[in-house]
Structure 1
Amino acid sequence: MKYTPGENIFDKFFQQRQSLIQQFKKGDISKKEYIEESYAYIQRMNIKPFKRVDNFNKAIYNYQFYNMMAKYCYLKSKEIKKYDKHPDIYKEYLDKVNYYYHKKDQSTLRAIELLDFYDVEAYYIKVTSSNLRENLFEIIFKDHEQVILHSRSEWLLDRLKEEGVFKEGIKKSLIENYINEKY
């Protein structure tokens, strides 16, 4: 990412993200467009994830990076599968999806560990997708209301349960419209 003295890279990244979220909420862009615009921003700014994650902001930044890369690769895999012409490229994209989602889940755990599991809550969410039902869970941070993470990871779920931050039952997602919109 290009750095300008006095500029906060977190602020710049999250301002761009917030702008796209507002456009999505107003209906100005679709979920697909949100993903494509986020990916284009990452590419344009030459954004890379942090190797040394020693604070909450870095962990969340990495989560957003890996999540967007996974969603973009999934989007591309769907486009390739639609024409059923390049099964090898389709598989490459799916491998990338799995890789990025795993890295995202590692970033999630790192963010939670940095807070020592304090003021963190996780729960299954209501979804319209049968594939995600009783599979997708939301993680919220009471001191960081804007940070809402999601996962399907079994190992992460087990760790959240071990630490006593996973609540049984199913709740409505705090970002239900985004979660349930297909792309």
Structure 2
Amino acid sequence: MAYYKEKGIFDTFFDHRNSLIIQYKNGDISKREFLEGNFDFVQDMKVKPFKRIDSYEKGMYNYQYYNVLAKYYTMLAKDMRKEGKHDKYYIYYLNQGNYYYNEKDRATLHLLRYLNFVNVDAYFIKVESRFLRNKLYEIVLKDYQYAIFHSKSRWLLDILKKEDVFIEGVKKSLIDEYINETY
């Protein structure tokens, strides 16, 4: 993708990401189309996650990279389960999704450490899914637009509490419609 080489990796990435967010918010694309658009774009860019996080942009890219892959492979696993066949593919895709979710949580921690946990809020969110109730929480980087992360990770939750950025109680997600839409 030559375009990002002219414009820059981060400008290209964030412009595309923001465009998809706006299209989703406007109802122009579904959650599934949003996920597929992100996956295709990350694959086309051929930019792997950064080993060292020394900027917000690198940390956000890593989070998004792993989040996109985690959701995409989990979506494929759900598709396999719905079809009721191909158990080995279901298990493979599910394992891939879980692996990338763990990497996403590690990327989140690296970014939070880079930011020294400053201007960060985290809290459990209201969800329609019984499976996610009292498990899914939101992490908001208050100094950045669209910097809203989600996790179920217990180890990350423990760190957020230790760093005193986790607020007890349950709140409505800043992106409630997206969180509660199935795909």
TM-score range, shorter chain: over 0.9
Match of 1:84 in 2: 84
Q: Which residue of 1 aligns with 2:117?
A: 117
Gapped runs of 5+ residues in structure 2? Answer: none
Distance (whole Å) between structure 1 residues aligned to residue 47 and residue 30 of structure 2: 23
Q: State the partner residue of 1:162.
A: 162
CA RMSD of aligned residues (A): 1.3
In the alignment, what sits opposite 1:142?
Answer: 142
Could you tell me how far apart the structure 2 residues matched to 1:68 and 1:4 are? Answer: 22
Mapped partners of 1:72, 1:4: distance in 2:
26
- The CA deviation at 1:43 is 1.6
Report SS of the residue matched to 1:144.
coil
1:86-139 CA-partner distances (Å, limit 9, x unpaired):
111111111111110000000111111011111111001111111111111111
Runs (4 or more) in structure 1 with deviation over 4 Å come to none
- Counterpart position of 2:5: 4
Amino-acid identity (%):
52
Specify the alignment match of 2:177 in structure 1: 177
Aligned counterpart, 1:38: 38
Q: How many residues align?
A: 182
Unaligned runs of at least 5 residues, structure 1: none
Question: Given residue 63 of structure 2, which amino acid in structure 1 is its aligned partner?
Answer: Y
CA deviation map 1:7-43 (0-9, x unaligned): 2211110110111111111111110111111111112
Aligned twin of 2:133? 133
Residue 142 of structure 1, CA deviation: 1.8
Deviation at 1:145, TM superposition (A): 3.4
Contact kept in structure 1, 2:53 and 2:114, CA below 8 Å? no
Task: Report the Cα offset of residue 167 of structure 1.
Answer: 0.5
- What is the distance in 2 between the residues matched to 1:131 and 1:55? 35
Partner of 1:53, secondary structure, is coil
TM-score calculated relative to the size of structure 2: 0.95
Using the TM superposition, name which of 147-156 and 82-91 deviates more.
Answer: 82-91
Provide the C-alpha distance between the structure 2 equivalents of 1:160 and 1:142, rounded to a whole number of angstroms: 15
Partner of 2:107: 107
**Aligned equivalents of 2:53, 2:158: Cα separation in 1:** 22
Distance across 2 between alignment mates of 1:18 and 1:128: 26
> Deviations 1:67-87 (Å, cap 9, x if unpaired)?
010010011111111222211
Partner amino acid for 1:30?
A: S
Equivalent residue for 1:50?
Answer: 50
CA distance, structure 2, for counterparts of residue 44 and residue 116 of structure 1:
32
